[in-house]
Amino acid sequence: MTAVADPVQSSRAWRLRLAATPYVLLLPALLALAAVSLYPIFYGVRASFHKYRYGLDMGSAGKQNYTDIYHDPVFWQAMKTTAKFVVIAVPVETLLGLLLALLVARELRFASWIRVALILPMTIAPVVVGVIWRLIYASDIGIVNPLFSHLGLGTPDVLAHYHGAFFGLVVLDTWEWTPLLFLIILAGLHSIPQDPLEAAQVDGATRLQTFFHHTLPLLMPVLLVAVTLRTIDAVGTFDQIFVLTGGGPGTSTQLISIYSYNTAFQFTQYGQAMAMLVTLLAFLLLLMIAAVQFIRRNSRAAA
C-alpha cells in the first residue's frame, strides 16, 4: 500500500527547506571564515590565559597574565605612547590629506602628475620607509643635522632625544600615510553631488562658506571611514619603528606593537604578549563601536 503524503506537511517541509537553503549554501563560507579569521583570535585569547616557559606551554595561568600586565608600568607607558601617537599623527594626516585633496580636486595643470607624486610614499614598503628616515635622521650621516646646523639651529640629533625621536616618527608616518587619506578624500570629493554647491554659489556663498556648510558635511561619512581605518592601522604601526628607533630612546617610541613583539619573541612570554594584544583589541573594539555609532548618527542627520 502506498502512503499518501499530507499536502500541508509537505508544503511546510518545502518552505522550511527553502528557508534553510541560503544558510546551507553559506555554511562552507562561514566555516572558511571561522577557520581563517576567528580561530586565530580564539587561539590568541586562549594563549593569553596560558603560561609559557622554555618555549613550552606550561598550561593554564588563569588570569595571571592579565594581572601581570595590569601591574606592568611599561605596558601602560606603551599604551599611552600608542594613544599619543594616534591622536597626533592621524589628525595631522587627515588635515593634510584634506588640504591636498582640495588642491588637486580642481583641474589644475599637471594635476595627474601631482596625484601620482603624492601617492608614491604610500607605495613603499614600511621597512624601507624606516630605513630611508633613519638615514635622514642619523646624527652622523643624515641630512637633518647639517641642515639645522647650516641654519644656525644647532644639531638636533633627532633619534637621540625623547621628543625628537617621537616627533621624528610622527613626521615619518605623516609622510607615508597622508597619501592614503588624500586618495580616500579625493574620491569622496569627486562623489559629492555638485548641485548644492552650485546653488550655494549662485546664492552668493563664499568659497569658505560653501566648504564649511556644504562640502564638509557631505564629505563627513567618507572622512569618518578614512579616519577609522587609519586609526586601526596607526595603532598597529610596527615596521617603521622597529627599524627607526627600536622603541627608544628610553621608551619614547615604544608603541604597544613593539612592546608586545618584544614580550613574545625576545622575552618569550607569549601569554603576556597575548594578554596585551587582547586588552588592546578590547580598547579598539570599543573605539570602533563608538566610531560606527557616530557614523550612523551622522549619516542619518545628513539624510
DSSP category for residue 108: -
Greatest Cα pair distance in the chain: 107
Neighbouring residues of 235: CB distance < 8 A, sequence distance ≥ 6: 82, 86, 255, 256, 257, 280, 284
Element (H, E) at 56: strand 56-60
Tell me which residues touch another protein (CB under 8 A).
53-56, 68, 138-140, 145, 155, 157, 159-162, 165, 245-251, 262, 265-269
- Measured from the CB of residue 254, what is the shortest distance to another protein in angstroms? 9
Grouping H, G, I as helix, E, B as strand and the rest as coil, residue 195 is helix
Dist. CA 39–CA 153, nearest whole Å: 54
Dist. CA 82–CA 254, nearest whole Å: 8
> What CA–CA distances, in Å, run from 235 to 82, 137, 170, 173?
6, 23, 13, 12
Dist. CA 94–CA 100, nearest whole Å: 10
Q: Which is nearer to another protein, 77 or 201 (CB)?
A: 77
Q: Which is nearer to another protein, 165 or 169 (CB)?
A: 165
Q: Which is nearer to another protein, 60 or 191 (CB)?
A: 60
Q: Which is nearer to another protein, 178 or 245 (CB)?
A: 245
Which phi-psi region, left, alpha or beta, contains residue 269 (left: φ > 0; alpha: ψ -120 to 50)?
beta
- Measured from the CB of residue 57, what is the shortest distance to another protein in angstroms? 9
- Measured from the CB of residue 189, what is the shortest distance to another protein in angstroms? 41
Residues in the chain: 303
Q: Which is nearer to another protein, 84 or 115 (CB)?
A: 84
- Measured from the CB of residue 54, what is the shortest distance to another protein in angstroms? 3
Q: Which is nearer to another protein, 15 or 53 (CB)?
A: 53
Q: Which is nearer to another protein, 159 or 223 (CB)?
A: 159
Q: Which is nearer to another protein, 80 or 296 (CB)?
A: 80
75, 282 contact by CB (below 8 A): no
The set of cell numbers assigned to 231 is 586609526
Number of helices and strands in the chain (H, E): 14, 2
- Measured from the CB of residue 60, what is the shortest distance to another protein in angstroms? 15
Q: Which is nearer to another protein, 85 or 270 (CB)?
A: 270
97, 182 contact by CB (below 8 A): yes
Any idea what the Cα angle at residue 294 is, between residues 289 and 299, rounded to 5°? Answer: 130
- Measured from the CB of residue 163, what is the shortest distance to another protein in angstroms? 11
Dist. CA 105–CA 55, nearest whole Å: 55
The set of cell numbers assigned to 277 is 594584544
Q: What are phi and psi of 301, to 5 degrees?
A: -65, -40
